[in-house]
Every structure is written in structure tokens, then in C-alpha cells.
Amino acid sequence: MNHFFPTNPSSPLLPTETILLHGLGVSGAVWAGFARRFLARPVIAPDLRGHGASDPAPLPHQYTPTDYAADVLALLDASGMGEPGTVIGHSLGSLI
């Protein structure tokens, strides 16, 4: 499940395409306020495996940063976004 946030054109701090990766136990929705306030272009803030609206994980510790990274690459391929200009991660998201 992906979250796309509108942007604030009066505050173009990050002028390139951006993907935002959340931390453990939360979802992509945690980035909503940041994205609306500070980013100049639309962003993708996905729910990582076992988080938010993604499929529930029976044992979250079964997933590795490598698994999450593969998911993010597949998402970028499917979205047609290509390589993002900026990747921002918090907690778990910073390991990906």
C-alpha cells in the first residue's frame, strides 16, 4: 500500500523525486505532515512489509533490511519513478 502526498510548492527544500521510508511499528502515513510542508514534488511513502496497510507479518523479525530493499526497488520499478533523487529513512527505514 502506497501513500502519495500533495506538496507545498512554496517550500521546495527537496526539488527531486523523493521516497520516504518509515520506522519499525508505524506506517508511511507518519510522513504526511513532513511531505506536505517541506517537499516540492509528490513523494512515495510506502507501508513496509508487516506495517500499516500492508499484509500482516506473522513474525516481523523474519524480514530483513534486504527484503525491504527488494520491495522498495520493486515499488520503484512498478511506479515508473525510476531511481529517486532523494531517499529519507527513519529508524528501520534508514537501514534499507
What does the pLDDT average to over 75-95?
A: 83
Residue bearing the bigger pLDDT, 86 or 79: 86
Nearest 5°: phi and psi at 82? 75, -155
Question: Could you give the number of structural domains in the chain?
Answer: 1
Residue 28 in this model has a pLDDT that exceeds 70: yes
The mean pLDDT value for 40-60 works out to: 80
Burial class (CB in 10 A: 0-12, 13-18, 19+), 5: buried
Question: What residue numbers bound the domain in which 46 lies?
Answer: 4-95
Under DSSP, the state recorded for 53 is T
At residue 91, φ and ψ (nearest 5 deg) are: 55, -120
* pLDDT band, very low/low/confident/very high, at 8 (cuts 50, 70, 90): low
Residue 28 φ then ψ, to 5°: -60, -20
pLDDT band at 85 (very low <50, low <70, confident <90, very high): confident
